[in-house]
Structure 1
Amino acid sequence: MAPSVSDAAAKVADVANPKSSAKDYKKESTTARMLGAGCAGIAELMVFHPVDTTAKRLMSNYGKITTASQLNTVVFKDKAGASVGGRFLSLFPGLGYAAAYKILQRVYKYGGQPFARDYLAKNHGDSFDRTFGKGNGKAIMHATAGSLIGIGEIVILPLDVLKIKRQTNPEAFRGRGLFKIIADEGFGLYRGWGWTAARNAPGSFALFGGSAAAKEYLYKLEDYNAASWGQNFVASIAGASASLIVSAPLDVIKTRIQNRNFDNPESGFKIVSKMMRNEGFSSFFKGLTPKLLMTGPKLVFSFWLAQTLIPAFNKMM
Structure 2
Amino acid sequence: MSPPTSGDKKQSGIARVLGSATAGICELAVFHPVDTTAKRLMSNNTRVASLSELNKVVFRDSATAPIGKRLVSLFPGLGYAAGYKILQRVYKYGGQPFANEFLNANFKPFFEDNFGKKTGKALMSATAGSLIGIGEIVLLPLDVLKIKRQTNPEAFKGRGFLKIIADEGFALYRGWGWTAARNAPGSFALFGGNAFAKEYIFKLQDYSAATWTQNFVASIFGASASLIVSAPLDVIKTRIQNKNFENPESGFTILKNMAKNEGFSAFFKGLVPKLLTTGPKLVFSFALAQSLIPAFDKVLSGSK
Report TM bin, short chain: 0.7 to 0.9
Aligned-partner Cα distance in 2 for 1:111–1:153: 12
Q: Which string of whole-angstrom CA distances, capped at 9 and with x for unpartnered residues, describes residues 128-167 of structure 1? A: 1111100011000000000000000000100000001001
1:85 aligns with 2:68: no
Match of 1:150 among 126, 133, 136: 133
Residue 42 of structure 1 and its aligned partner are, at CA, apart by: 0.6
Deviation, 1:126, is 1.8
For residues 148 and 307 of structure 1, do their structure 2 counterparts lie closer, same or farther at Cα, with a shift above 3 Å needed?
A: same
Using the alignment, how far apart are the partners of 2:169 and 2:229 within structure 1?
31
2:161 corresponds to 1:170: no
- Measured after TM superposition, the shift of residue 227 of structure 1 is 0.6
Contact 1:22 1:134 in 2 (8 A): no
1:38 to 1:94, Cα distance in 2 relative to 1, 3 A: same
Query: Following TM superposition, by how much is the alpha carbon of 1:31 offset from its aligned partner in structure 2, in angstroms?
Result: 0.8
Residues 1:130 and 2:103 aligned together:
no
Give the drift of 1:53. 8.4
Select which of 95, 100, 103 maps to 1:117.
Answer: 100
d(CA) in 1 for partners of 2:286, 2:82:
17
Distance 1:151 1:312, change over 3 A: same
Matched with 2:51 is none
Distance 1:112 1:163 in 2: 22
What is the deviation of 1:25? 3.4
Contact 1:51-1:295 within 8 A present in 2 as well: no
Instruction: Check whether the contact 2:44–2:57 (CA below 8 A) recurs between aligned residues.
Output: no
What are structure 1's unaligned runs of at least 5 residues? Answer: 1-20, 55-71
Using the TM superposition, give the Cα deviation of residue 124 of structure 1 relative to its aligned residue in structure 2, in angstroms: 1.2
1:284 — aligned with what? 267
Q: TM-score, normalised by structure 2?
A: 0.85
Q: Per-residue CA shift, 1:89-109, capped at 9, x if unaligned?
A: 999653101110000000000
TM-score by length of 1: 0.82
Could you tell which deviates more after superposition, 230-239 or 273-282?
273-282
CA distance in 2, matches of 1:168, 1:241: 24
How many residues matched? 278
CA distance in 2, matches of 1:109, 1:211: 14
- RMSD of Structure 2 on Structure 1 (CA): 2.6
Question: Which consecutive residues of structure 2, in runs of 5 or more, have no partner in the other structure?
Answer: 47-55, 61-70
Letter of the structure 2 residue corresponding to residue 217 of structure 1: Y
> Which digits, 9 at most, give the CA deviation of each residue in 1:229-282, with x for residues without a partner?
111110000000000000011111111110111111111111112222222211
What letter matches 2:277 in structure 1? Answer: M
Q: Distance in 1 between matches of 2:233 and 2:110?
A: 31
| Identity among equivalent pairs (%) | 73
Who is 1:39 aligned against?
A: 22
Counterpart of 2:196 (choices 194, 209, 213) is: 213
How far 1:38 moved relative to its partner?
A: 0.2
Change (3 A) 1:284 1:80: farther
8 Å contact from structure 1 (residues 22, 138) kept in 2: no
CA distance in 1, matches of 2:229, 2:175: 18
Question: Corresponding residue for 1:181?
Answer: 164
Match of 2:212 in 1: 229
Q: Which amino acid aligns with 1:211?
A: N
Give the Cα–Cα distance (whole angstroms) in 1 for the partners of residues 231 and 76 of structure 2.
23
Separation in 1 of the partners of 2:115 and 2:22? 34
Counterpart residue type for residue 136 of structure 2:
E
* Residues 1:311 and 2:271 are matched in the alignment: no
Counterparts of 2:126 and 2:26 in 1: how far apart (Å)?
Answer: 24
Whichever residue aligns with residue 224 of structure 1, its letter is Y
Partners in 2 of 1:191 and 1:285 — Cα distance?
22
Corresponding residue for residue 269 of structure 1: 252
Matches of 1:91 and 1:275, distance apart in 2: 36
The residue identity in structure 1 corresponding to 2:10 is K
1:140 aligns with 2:128: no
Q: CA deviation at 1:24?
A: 3.5
Report the Cα offset of residue 79 of structure 1.
Answer: 5.3
Q: What is the CA–CA distance in structure 2 between the aligned matches of 1:178 and 1:41, rounded to whole Å?
A: 22
- Corresponding residue for residue 184 of structure 2: 201
Q: Equivalents in 2 of 1:307, 1:85: separation in Å? A: 33
